[in-house]
Amino acid sequence: MSVTHNECVHGCNYSEDEIHVFFLCEVARQIWLASPWGLRWEALRLNDLMSFLHCLFNPTDLIPIHEDDKETFLFFGATMLEYLWKIRNTSYHAIESPYVQLTPDLIRKKVNEMIDATKRDASASHSPEVSDRHIRLSWRKPTAGFIKVNSYATMRSNGCFLAIIARNEEGKVLSIHSFKSKVSIPEVAELEAIAKAMHRAQVHGWTKMIFETDAQTVIKALHMKDRSLIQWASESLFSNIMLNISSFQIVKFSWAPRIANNLAHNVSKWSATYYVVGPIDLIWLPSVCTETVIQKSAPEEAPWIQL
């Protein structure tokens, strides 16, 4: 592949080179952001093509990706580049309007096929440690003795819907709760969801906690206890959470890719659609929400991020 066209075909007034087409163009950014890792290449401030490619092959140097997920990430990366090139060419030749909205799903489908193919190869060669690679992108059970609460905020025009799901070391759902909030800033909403999760944990008398969400900045700020990473509107919730940590024996803040935070994500969307708030019973939820509960989770707590 080589890019020779002068100006970006997507009309963003940038000159077109490989870095722009595959990583930094608005079209590319949308698709990378929709990946399970919610990647923002622009935040890495890489400036030559080799650095971008190096990162695709060695993501753990720069991106919070678990060592075990490196291969899946490479599948994603390769498929992503292939689709971005297709989109660029359909736009350039004006064959049809680019299918940007559909692309994240197409990529996921293709990657799953690749993983399944690897799985088939692996089971053919009787190597079980490779065959469960596909579940590595799913929710992970907490370490023994801990309760993990996943949270998610779905934004609406007049506020947001927060969902929290608590599960134990066996992956058993202990509690599902949704809340309506007036908060209209995503970062504040994510923090509010964690504050609510903490409050529910106190009500239940749980003492060893993992609070997990897919909002990277929020988790990083909480983990590092660094309020400079968050915006001023988040300050009071941040302080509140920091104060509440002492009411538990152990508190960990953990980041997971969106795909592994699926149940909280689905419940939050469902509660926003049907305007259901309060405690929720698993049996009320449509199967599309709950299949992630039944789905086998990864065998042990393996953190997604090493902060």
Q: Select 32 or 179, whichever has its Cβ closest to Zn ion.
A: 32
CB of 41 to Zn ion, least distance (A): 13
Q: Which stretch binds Zn ion (CB under 5 A): 9-17, 40-48, 66-74, 216-224?
A: 9-17
Confirm or reject binding of residue 100 to Zn ion (CB under 5 A): no
Residue 42 binds Zn ion (CB under 5 A): no
User: How many residues make up the chain in this entry?
Assistant: 307
Nearer to Zn ion, 10 or 252 (CB): 10
By the rule CB under 5 A, 28 interacts with Zn ion: no
The distance of closest approach from Cβ of residue 98 to Zn ion in the complex, given in angstroms and rounded to an integer, is 11
Q: Tally Cβ neighbours within 10 Å of residue 124.
A: 9
Kindly tell me which of 25 and 251 has the beta carbon lying closer to Zn ion: 25
In the complex, minimum distance from the CB of residue 63 to Zn ion, in angstroms, rounded to a whole number = 22
Q: How far is the CB of 8 from Zn ion (least distance, A)?
A: 3
Among 3, 8, 65, 193, binds Zn ion (CB under 5 A): 8
| CA 33 – CA 39 distance, rounded (Å) | 5
Q: In terms of C-beta distances under 8 Å and separation of at least 24 residues, what long-range contacts does 70-78 make, across chains too?
A: 71/118, 71/133, 72/111, 72/115, 72/133, 72/136, 72/137, 73/37, 75/111, 75/114, 75/115, 76/35, 76/36, 76/37, 76/107, 76/111
Q: Is 87 in the site for Zn ion (CB under 5 A)?
A: no
For residues 111 and 41, give the distance between their C-alpha atoms in angstroms, rounded to a whole number.
20
Q: Under the criterion CB under 5 A, does residue 12 sit at the interface with Zn ion? A: yes
Q: Is 64 helix (H, G, I), strand (E, B) or coil?
A: coil
Q: How far is the CB of 56 from Zn ion (least distance, A)?
A: 20
When the beta carbons of 99 and 275 are compared against Zn ion, the nearer one is: 99
The stretch near Zn ion (CB under 5 A) out of 17-25, 139-147, 220-228, 266-274 is 17-25
19 or 267, CB closer to Zn ion?
A: 19
Q: Which two tokens stand for residue 110?
A: 């293709």
CA–CA dist 271, 281 (Å, integer): 12
Minimum CB distance to Zn ion, residue 256 (Å) = 30
Q: Given the complex with Zn ion, which of 23 and 76 has the nearer CB atom?
A: 23
Assess contact for 40 and 104: CB atoms under 8 A: no
| Binding flag, residue 25, Zn ion (CB under 5 A) | yes
Helix axes 49-57, 70-92, angle to 10 degrees: 140
What's the CA gap between 13 and 19, in Å, rounded? 15
Pick between residue 44 and residue 174 the one whose CB is nearest to Zn ion.
44
Closer Cβ to Zn ion, 25 or 153, answer by number: 25
Q: Least CB distance from residue 203 to Zn ion, whole Å?
A: 49
Task: Give me the least distance between CB of 96 and Zn ion, in Å please.
Answer: 18
Q: 279, exposed or middle or buried, with CB in 10 Å at 0-12, 13-18, 19+?
A: exposed
Can you tell me which residue has the tokens 């990946």? 35
Phi, psi of 213, deg, nearest 5: -150, 170
Q: Is 10 in the site for Zn ion (CB under 5 A)?
A: yes
Q: Interface with Zn ion by CB under 5 A: which residues? A: 8, 10, 12, 25
